[in-house]
Amino acid sequence: MYQKQFNNPNTKSTERVQTSATVGFKNGAIQIIIWITTIFFFTIPTLSETLFHISYVFGCDPYFRFNDLSYQWIALDNWTYTTTFTVPSQIRVRKKVLLVFDGVDTAASISLNGIVVGKTDNMFRRYDFSVRKLLKDGENVLEVSLLSPVFYSSERRKAHSSYSVPPECPPDVQKGECHVNFIRKEQSSFSWDWGPSFPTMGIWKDVRLDAFDVLHLIQLSSLPLYSISTQWRLQVELLVDAVQTTSCQVELSLSELDSKQTIQNLFLQGRLKYNFTLHINKVDSFKIEAYLTSFLQVYFRTVELIQEPVMESPGLSFYFRINEKSLFLKGSNWIPADSFQDRVNSAVNLLQSAVDANMNALRVWGGGVYEQDLFYNLCDELGIMVWQDFMFACAMYPTEDDFIQTVREEVIQQVQRLKSHPSIIVWSGNNENEAALATNWFNIPASQKPTYIKDYVKLYVNNIRKIVQEDQSRPFLVSSPTNGAESEQEGWVAANPYDPHFGDVHFYNYNMDCWDWRTFPRTRFASEYGFQSWPSFSTLEPVSIPEDWSYNSNFTSHRQHHESGNQQMLQQAALHFNLPNSTVPLKRFTDTLYITQVMQAQCVKTQTEFYRRSRSEIIAGKGHTLGALYWQLNDIWQAPSWSSIEFGGKWKMLHYFAQDFFASVLPVGFEDDDTLFIYAISDLNHDLKLRAVVNVYSWSDLDSICTLTSDQLLVSGGSAAAIFKQPVTSLLAGCGGCTRLTCLLSFHLENNHGIQQGPTNHHFLCSPKDAQGLQRPNITEDKSGFMVILHSDSVAPFVWLDVGHIQGRFSVNGFLIVSRNKTVHFDAWQPTSVAELSRSLSVTTLMDVY
Ligand SMILES: *[C@@H]1O[C@H](CO)[C@@H](O)[C@H](O)[C@H]1NC(C)=O
Ligand SMILES: *[C@@H]1O[C@H](CO)[C@@H](O)[C@H](O)[C@H]1NC(C)=O
Ligand SMILES: *[C@@H]1O[C@H](CO)[C@@H](O)[C@H](O)[C@H]1NC(C)=O
Ligand SMILES: *[C@@H]1O[C@H](CO)[C@@H](O)[C@H](O)[C@H]1NC(C)=O
Ligand SMILES: *[C@@H]1O[C@H](CO)[C@@H](O)[C@H](O)[C@H]1NC(C)=O
Ligand SMILES: *[C@@H]1O[C@H](CO)[C@@H](O)[C@H](O)[C@H]1NC(C)=O
């Protein structure tokens, strides 16, 4: 048992005479004013610290080298937080005083002045305790005694003796703790295949006293609902806590719509819902505009998940219609941005990076946390649509009464908190648990399967779904991946939740050749797929020492939490590239980091382009793909993973590629039976007249050998169509002496005025390792301000600019050079200078690593 004594708190009280909140949209806001008596609140600031700060006292970064192992003991022990505070008299004279914890991580007993006021068992819940009678003059002592989460989970596992609830423990390679499914806590905090085991303990959100005489507004939320018959209705929900049955007046006004309603109402203890009806024509006028002019604030929007028969295809469609428009969801998956939630301050940068890469959607994955309010506010503002999982992942879960009860409260509170955010377009019950049951990840004997299916249905369908369905403004899916309506038909666990004819699909295969699109499932919606890579050297350097800097070091294998991951990356890279073989160890290491990023970027590009070009067609009964969310956007620490952004915010090559492969207008090239196809893809709302322009280059020459142009094609908004088609042999034959090994293709789309639409793309006719004539380019740089002009004397693939530790990003990176000059801008995220940038800049091309 450890005791931690805090300094005296800063006593502070604030007075509010009215509670108001805005649920606004574009030009106006709804103002809700409740005329009630004064509310006082009082913050207890020093309690808002978490356990990991202890490691900072010793000056050690918990992510340094093997510190996840060195600090393992911390979470095996129990810890007590203690603070003392005095309470202003105007607080204590109120009729009701609540001690409110917005978040406790996780199992704790809380006592005030020596009396236990309550216990907590769920990191995702807010807790409040009535404490008026316990407060006294002078010093009050508050104690939060936290039980080791590892100990707690294992005790809960022992108490559940009738049958096992797998998995018991994570794979050894993750170096994690066991039975995380028995505690309502961030599931990845006991380790994951991309993250360390740091089972944090502490008080991760605010703690305060709320004091009031009559009633207190806990939460205000609103849901706009639309139906043809009733048009728009705004459902406003007030969650109040009343000392006694009280009569009071509520005024709701919608400023821009010139609408005001006053109601006399009788507040009872508990929740009150009030439906506020809007006038239809004015809302209607910006219902579509607001969304499509993009991605500013939108508070009125409709979401439909369309699952209906598809022509020439068995199964059902699966796509989202927002404001009556079918959208292709482009984006990635979000994981916790740090093992220590209270030091996360990167959400703005990460979400802006998502938007800068032309993403319109993110899935908040079910093994992390329900993100903070700021995250969803930013998504609302930036126009990022959120697929929100509930926090259950890759496991079976117990269903004892107390577990179900705490989950129910968690779901009620989170839905209440989050449902006003228009960015959230779908709720989803869990990550991969339907698939885990259906395809028997945990070797459950067939005779016992019904028990687990019963538990599954009890938790996600009978409890979570039932609560969430009160929200009629967006769909609910039980799992991801799932067959959706078909899974429901099959009793909520489909025989094959990965069926490409239904719902969403997660797909990973590291052994196949990722340049071959035939190996990808032509699914309706790809919600997870990806390949690993290493972060750059500047990200690894602060948490390592020179002896770690080789691909075979203990550090390198320690940081890899996915079985055989380091070998898989090299195997995949070796299919198309020579592996780095420098005799200088450090160069060989950094070259290897680079080649893993090249491999990842190229793999995810190929797969994403395959999904995007599959949006309008059905081939062999499969297709109409309307979603591509690769795994994963961000990292939790400095380690190899599937992310496109490194811990700290640096963009990997993949993230730069995403800017292009998610562009709203995009040409995609691929071969089928030795025929080259180019598809024109448009996510725009209007039609375009386009032609494709193909330039054939020799690997050894910067002047294009020949140029081919397609006929003009009308490409409708929201479609993908073949615009160019020619057998590769005839294409090369017509292009003076070119072969697959000596030439490559670059192509773009133009409108009827000859103006390029969308990015330039390229297609390799052989692996770069087999290319003939590819030379080591002589690249020189002209720098002017935060701009670099590269001059090259030959074709150079995967040109990579790096400025080490200077935070920021380039306008483009990892690009193919097929011109003598290339201009690249640097957007600095910290103060820097031209001199510092020049000193730090390095340029790597594929030929530099052999
Ligand atoms: C933590 O507290 C529990 C319950 O009091 C106790 O059983 C356990 O032994 C304690 N663990 C340690 C390491 O003191
Ligand atoms: C509010 O609207 C919802 C959804 O239409 C309905 O179920 C509920 O009964 C309404 N409540 C009130 C108080 O009108
Ligand atoms: C790697 O770890 C092993 C086992 O802990 C140890 O024996 C070996 O000396 C370490 N190697 C290096 C280079 O640190
Ligand atoms: C690279 O190009 C620069 C500028 O054209 C030239 O001065 C230099 O000699 C070249 N280096 C090599 C190795 O060819
Ligand atoms: C490329 O840059 C060089 C040196 O700045 C300049 O002389 C030349 O005109 C540029 N070429 C093109 C095609 O822009
Ligand atoms: C490294 O690999 C390249 C390409 O395979 C080869 O040409 C070169 O000789 C190799 N260098 C060494 C030092 O092995």
* pLDDT confidence of residue 39: 43
- Other beta carbons less than 10 A from residue 15's beta carbon: 9
By most ligand atoms within 8 Å of CB, the mutation choice from 222, 273, 278 for ligand 2 is 273
Domains 665-774 and 780-849 share a fold: yes
* pLDDT confidence of residue 332: 98
Q: How far apart are CA 120 and CA 114, in angstroms?
A: 17
Q: Give how far the C-alpha of residue 501 lies from the chain's centroid of Cα atoms, to the nearest Å.
A: 25
pLDDT in tens, 176-200: 999 999 999 999 999 999 999 999 9
CA of 170 to the centre of ligand 3 (A): 23
CA of 775 to the centre of ligand 4 (A): 14
Share of the chain above pLDDT 90, in %: 75
CA of 563 to the centre of ligand 3 (A): 19
Question: In the predicted model, what is the mean pLDDT of residues 133-147?
Answer: 94
Shortest-distance atom of ligand 2 to CA 273? 13
CA of 850 to the centre of ligand 6 (A): 6
Q: How far apart are CA 725 and CA 575, in angstroms?
A: 27
* pLDDT confidence of residue 277: 64
Structural Rg of the chain based on CA atoms: 29
* pLDDT confidence of residue 251: 62
Q: Does residue 384 carry a pLDDT above 80?
A: yes
Closest residue (by CA) to atom 14 of ligand 2?
275
Shortest-distance atom of ligand 1 to CA 155? 7
Q: How far apart are CA 406 and CA 412, in angstroms?
A: 10
Kindly state if the Cβ of 78 falls inside 6 Å of ligand 1. Answer: yes
Question: In the predicted model, what is the mean pLDDT of residues 311-331?
Answer: 95
Worst-scoring range by mean pLDDT, 59-73, 202-216, 272-286, 493-507? 272-286
Q: Write down the mean pLDDT value for the chain.
A: 88
Kindly state if the Cβ of 554 falls inside 6 Å of ligand 3. Answer: yes
Structure tokens at 13: 């009280």
Q: Which ligand is nearest to the CA of 233?
A: 2
Sheet hosting strand 796-802, strand order edge to edge: 815-817, 796-802, 842-844
CA of 76 to the centre of ligand 1 (A): 9
Q: Apex CA 696: angle with CA 692 and CA 699, to 5°?
A: 145
DSSP type of residue 74: G
Kindly state if the Cβ of 282 falls inside 6 Å of ligand 5. Answer: no
pLDDT in tens, 255-269: 455 555 666 565 566
**Which residues, in sequence order, are bridge partners of residue 359?**
none
Structure tokens at 661: 């492969």
The upper half-sphere exposure of residue 431, i.e. CA atoms within 13 Å in the direction of its Cβ, equals 25
Listed by start position, the domains of the chain span: 40-209, 214-299, 303-528, 665-774, 780-849
Question: In the predicted model, what is the mean pLDDT of residues 439-459?
Answer: 97
Burial of 402 (0-12, 13-18, 19+ CB in 10 A): exposed
Q: Does residue 58 carry a pLDDT above 50?
A: no
The most confident of the ranges 27-41, 66-80, 706-720 is: 706-720
Structure tokens at 788: 């670099």
Question: In the predicted model, what is the mean pLDDT of residues 119-142?
Answer: 95
Question: In the predicted model, what is the mean pLDDT of residues 280-304?
Answer: 42
Kindly state if the Cβ of 557 falls inside 6 Å of ligand 3. Answer: no
By DSSP bridging, strand 675-682 and strand 706-709 are unpaired
Structure tokens at 793: 């004397």
Kindly state if the Cβ of 235 falls inside 6 Å of ligand 2. Answer: yes
Kindly state if the Cβ of 778 falls inside 6 Å of ligand 4. Answer: yes
148-173 burial code (b ≥16 CB/10 A, e <16): bbbebbbbbbeebeeeebebeebeeb
Q: Does residue 144 carry a pLDDT above 90?
A: yes
Kindly state if the Cβ of 260 falls inside 6 Å of ligand 2. Answer: no
Q: How far apart are CA 797 and CA 774, in angstroms?
A: 9
Q: Does residue 254 carry a pLDDT above 80?
A: no
Shortest-distance atom of ligand 1 to CA 76? 13
Q: In the structure, what pLDDT confidence band is assigned to residue 668 with cuts at 50, 70 and 90?
A: very high
Kindly state if the Cβ of 791 falls inside 6 Å of ligand 5. Answer: yes
Q: Does residue 13 carry a pLDDT above 50?
A: no
Q: How far apart are CA 357 and CA 372, in angstroms?
A: 23
Q: In the structure, what pLDDT confidence band is assigned to residue 574 with cuts at 50, 70 and 90?
A: very high
Kindly state if the Cβ of 117 falls inside 6 Å of ligand 1. Answer: no
pLDDT in tens, 497-519: 999 999 999 999 999 999 999 99
Q: How far apart are CA 1 and CA 801, in angstroms?
A: 51
Nearest to 276 by CA among 306, 295, 254, 307: 254
Residues with catalytic annotation?
Answer: 432, 528
Shortest-distance atom of ligand 4 to CA 778? 1
By DSSP bridging, strand 505-507 and strand 526-529 are parallel
Question: In the predicted model, what is the mean pLDDT of residues 358-378?
Answer: 96
Q: Does residue 167 carry a pLDDT above 70?
A: yes
Q: Which ligand is nearest to the CA of 850?
A: 6
Question: In the predicted model, what is the mean pLDDT of residues 758-768?
Answer: 98
Q: Which ligand is nearest to the CA of 579?
A: 6
* pLDDT confidence of residue 587: 98
* pLDDT confidence of residue 44: 53
Closest residue (by CA) to atom 12 of ligand 5?
821
Question: In the predicted model, what is the mean pLDDT of residues 39-49?
Answer: 47
Closest residue (by CA) to atom 6 of ligand 2?
275
* pLDDT confidence of residue 258: 53
Closest residue (by CA) to atom 6 of ligand 3?
554
Closest residue (by CA) to atom 4 of ligand 3?
554
Number of H helices, E strands in the chain: 19, 51
Q: Which ligand is nearest to the CA of 769?
A: 6
- At the fourth CATH level, the homologous superfamily of domain 303-528 is Glycosidases (3.20.20.80)
Q: Which ligand is nearest to the CA of 583?
A: 6
Task: Specify the fold of 40-209.
Answer: Jelly Rolls (2.60.120)
Kindly state if the Cβ of 780 falls inside 6 Å of ligand 4. Answer: yes
Q: In the structure, what pLDDT confidence band is assigned to residue 35 with cuts at 50, 70 and 90?
A: very low
Q: What stretch of H or E contains 622? A: strand 622-623
CATH entry 2.60.40.10 includes domain 780-849? yes
* pLDDT confidence of residue 263: 64
CA of 37 to the centre of ligand 1 (A): 45
Q: Does residue 379 carry a pLDDT above 80?
A: yes
By DSSP bridging, strand 424-428 and strand 329-334 are unpaired
**Residue 837 dihedral angles phi and psi, to the nearest 5°:** -65, -45
Residue with tokens 């005694």: 145
* pLDDT confidence of residue 343: 85
Do 19 and 267 form a contact (C-beta atoms < 8 A)?
Answer: no
* pLDDT confidence of residue 34: 41
Closest residue (by CA) to atom 10 of ligand 4?
778
Query: pTM of the predicted model, to two decimals?
Result: 0.92
Closest residue (by CA) to atom 7 of ligand 5?
821
Domain boundaries 665-774, CATH class: mainly beta
Nearest to 623 by CA among 330, 318, 333: 318
Question: In the predicted model, what is the mean pLDDT of residues 441-462?
Answer: 98
CA of 96 to the centre of ligand 6 (A): 77
Do 192 and 642 form a contact (C-beta atoms < 8 A)?
Answer: no
CA of 272 to the centre of ligand 2 (A): 11
Kindly state if the Cβ of 230 falls inside 6 Å of ligand 2. Answer: no
Q: In the structure, what pLDDT confidence band is assigned to residue 302 with cuts at 50, 70 and 90?
A: confident
Q: Which residues form ligand 6's pocket by a CB distance below 6 Å? A: 578, 581, 583, 850
Question: In the predicted model, what is the mean pLDDT of residues 803-814?
Answer: 97
